[in-house]
Chains A and B, each alone.
Chain A
Amino acid sequence: MPRIASALVTIALTSLVATGSGCDEQLSDLTGPTPNLTPTLTSIQNDIFSAADASGRVACTGCHTNVGRMPLAGLNLVGGTAHAALVDRSSVAKPGAILVVPGDPDNSYLIQKLEGAAGIVGQRMPRTSGPFLTPGQVAVIRRWIALGARND
């Protein structure tokens, strides 16, 4: 192989590897108002359940808390209790619907309520009529469920 060919091949492959190592889309670009959101319960708790965000979305624990009140629909999403309240638990409002089915986001009632899917009982969440979670934020929660809805 001529020297110039070797040099070009080396440059091309090196650049390819360098490009490949930084190719992936950034999760922070997808999660909009919560750029640090990742598919772990800790992150979902800190960035979604317990916090409002820059879009004006209210925190879930505004209503779903046992601090100073009864949790709405019996669902307490305060830190440390959310996992037990969600995973493999039936909805109070819609008997038979499981709030979080580990590994199955489509059949998890939590996702259906967040997306306003057909067949939900009551309003889409948050029930302030918006702002709702962005598709990127819901995708992260879906991924958490798809990975087994671990208490991580």
Chain B
Amino acid sequence: MNTSVLLLAAAMVTAHPSSAFAQASGSAPESAAATAAAPPAAQDDDPDRDVNLAQPDFSVITLPTTLRVARHKSAFRITHRFGRPLGAGDFGDLAGDLFGLDNGAVIGLEYRFGLFRGAQVGVHRTSNKAVQFFGQYDIKNQRDGFPVGIAAYVSAEGTNNFRDSYSPGLGLLVSREIGDRAALYLEPFWVNNTNELPNELVDDNNTVIVGVGARLRVRPSVYALLEAAPRLSGYDPGVGHISFGVEKRAGGHAFQLNFSNGFATTLAEVARGGFNHDDWYIGFNISRKFY
């Protein structure tokens, strides 16, 4: 099994040499010199480098979007889910804990890279030692005239630094951009081995979910977000994942404040759902494109 996992990981990280660089800010003479020695103009004409106002980032909150990573470019994201339910105690208690800052958190670090146009790979690692490798391939894109965006999504996740309890997943991402104001998502996923007990002890070991999401640009650079992932079949502990939030974009950065009924930041965690509908947890995502 470890050999197969390594083969999958090798397939997903096979790439040309990285040329990631931060968004330029000033220093015109250096830019001119760099431009003079730059590769042919075709690279700079990559439309995937342009900001997509309806779909500016690679995740809604946890669910993926169909936004393409520009070829040979990369992006980084940090996720944070505070461990204190907002409803525990009164407001004074909550404020005294700085809305959960004092109570520990599940943190995730994520990096993704554009292999070639329409194809991206990445890795997400949580402070619970879950590691998720993922890949996404653009099948149809609304910017190319198709009515919706469609992408294939594959992931392989393992707990304990990818040493235990593997959960591969397959999904189809369907998006619909509404002008430059909004984007809607419908994303069925099948996730294997979501039940952490052995097969012999459980009735269901896989989960089928359908992710639904929406992103609405309420101000020029402010978005409202909502996502949910009800379970259609299989292992379904707790309740379906639900999360909502608000996001502010500034340059190449995005800061998102969100509220979720669990700590899910990987696909298998989303499939396992939230704890209940009474406990909600504050969190944030910070993302940065390196282009």
A-side interface residues toward B, CB under 8 Å? Answer: 2, 4-5, 8-9, 11-16, 18-20, 22-27, 29-30, 38-39, 139-140, 143
Contacts and interface: CB of A to CB of B under 8 A. Distances in A.
B22 interface: no
Contacts of A24: 193, 198-199, 205
A139 B197 contact: yes
B168 A16 contact: yes
A24 B195 CA distance: 9
A38 B5 contact: no
Interface of B: 1, 4-5, 7-8, 11-12, 14, 115-116, 118-119, 135, 137, 152, 154, 156, 164-168, 170, 192-193, 196-201, 205
A39 B11 contact: no
Nearest to A1: B137
12 contacts: A5-B119, A9-B137, A13-B154, A15-B4, A15-B5, A16-B154, A18-B7, A19-B8, A20-B168, A22-B1, A22-B166, A30-B198
A19 B5 contact: yes
B203 to A, nearest CB: 9
Instruction: Tell which of B4, B115, B165 has the most Cβ of chain A within 10 Å.
Output: B4
Nearest to B134: A12
Given A12-B154, A30-B197, A39-B201, A19 B168 contact: yes
A12 B135 contact: yes
A18 to B, nearest CB: 4
Contacts, number: 86
Contact of A15 (B156, B165, B200): B156
Contact of A23 (B7, B152, B166): B166
Contact of A16 (B1, B8, B199, B200): B8
Contacts of A22: 1, 4, 166
Contacts of B1: 18-19, 22-23
A15 B11 contact: yes
B116 to A, nearest CB: 7
B7 A11 contact: yes
B135 to A, nearest CB: 6
A9 B11 CA distance: 9
Contacts of A16: 8, 154, 156, 168, 170
Contacts of B119: 5, 8
Given A16-B168, A18-B1, A27-B200, 17 more contacts: A8-B135, A9-B137, A14-B7, A18-B7, A19-B5, A19-B156, A20-B192, A22-B1, A22-B166, A23-B1, A23-B165, A23-B192, A25-B165, A25-B193, A30-B197, A30-B198, A39-B200
Contacts of A11: 7-8, 11
Contacts of B205: 24
Q: Please give me the 8 A-B residue pairs with the lowest Cβ-Cβ distance, nearest first.
A: A15-B8, A22-B1, A18-B4, A11-B11, A27-B198, A23-B193, A23-B166, A20-B192
Contacts of B199: 24, 27
Contacts of B115: 8
Contacts of A15: 4-5, 7-8, 11, 156
Contacts of A18: 1, 4, 7
A151 to B, nearest CB: 18
Nearest to B170: A16
B11 A12 contact: yes
Given A24-B205, A26-B198, A139-B201, A2 B116 contact: yes
A101 B193 CA distance: 29
Contacts of A4: 116
A15 B196 CA distance: 21
A20 to B, nearest CB: 5
